[in-house]
Every structure is written in C-alpha cells, then in structure tokens.
Amino acid sequence: MTVIEKVVPVIFRHVGQNIEILVFRHPIAGIQIVKGTVEANEKLEDAAIRELYEESGISSTSIHSYFGLHYPSESGPNWHVFVCDTTEPLKENWTHFCNDDGGLVFNFFWHPLVEEPTDEWHKLFKELLEFIKSRC
C-alpha cells in the first residue's frame, strides 16, 4: 500500500515589526497556502521545493527548516510543513498559472500573521495558519 504524503512550503517576510506569510487566492476554493503531494520516491524537501515552484512560480528556493507535522481535521494524509527561503525578490502580489486541475490562475499576496483569516479562507488552511502561528 502506498502512503500519500503532503508537503506545505511556507515563505515568510518581515515588514517592519510584522511577519507576513505568502498565501494565494484559489479561484474556486478560497485563500490557501501552497500545499501538494509527494511523488513516488521523492524526498519531502524536494517535493516542497517542487510544489512551491509549480504553484507559485518561485524558483531559487531552499529549505530553511522543518516546522513539523500538521494534522488536518479532514481525514487523509497529514501535512509536512517546511519553511523555505528564496533568493529572488518577491512582489507585493502576482498571479501564476498552475497546471493543477486542468489549469488555474492563483493570485498570490502576503497575509500578516497578526491578522485573523477572513471567511474567504478555506477551512483547512485556517487550521494550518493556526498551526504555523503556534510554531512562530
């Protein structure tokens, strides 16, 4: 039996005294954080970097640290959360075409960690944000 594993590559930035996390608006499923499935024989770290590139277009990334294992309330695989660094300058917001589900445009932006997620956030990603905040 094959075990499905999920990875969550997280990018933070500091703006003054505030920490912000990179999130995106999914055209169907609300505000989310990049997450994806580990492919067969792929290391978790490699999957995190690949998923970040596929979903956001961000390259030149590396793993900074492992944040831990998140247990979402929905049944299914648990999520390995990694903090990633990038050497490329990231904009305030941007759109990226992702091949997932036949092709979707994701709208990326920064969410201050001190702000509560709005109703637009997908339920599972509200939980994930709380997990991430608890580790900061």
**CATH number for position 112:** 3.90.79.10
Instruction: For residue 1, tell me if it sits in a domain.
Output: no
Tell me the pTM: 0.94
* Helix/strand/coil for 4: coil
Structurally, the chain folds into a number of domains equal to 1
pLDDT at 1: 59
Q: Does residue 73 contact residue 124 with C-beta atoms inside 8 Å? A: yes
Q: CA-CA distance, 81 to 92, in Å (whole number)?
A: 23
For residue 24, give the nearest of 91, 114, 101 by alpha carbon.
Answer: 91
Does some domain include residue 115? yes
Domain that holds residue 72: 6-135
| Per-residue pLDDT tens over the stretch 94-132 | 999 988 777 899 999 999 999 999 999 999 999 999 999
Any domain includes 51: yes
Residues of the chain with pLDDT under 70: 1-2
What is the model's pLDDT at position 77? 92
- At 66 the pLDDT is 97
Whose structure tokens read 């300058």? 89
Within-domain flag for 25? yes
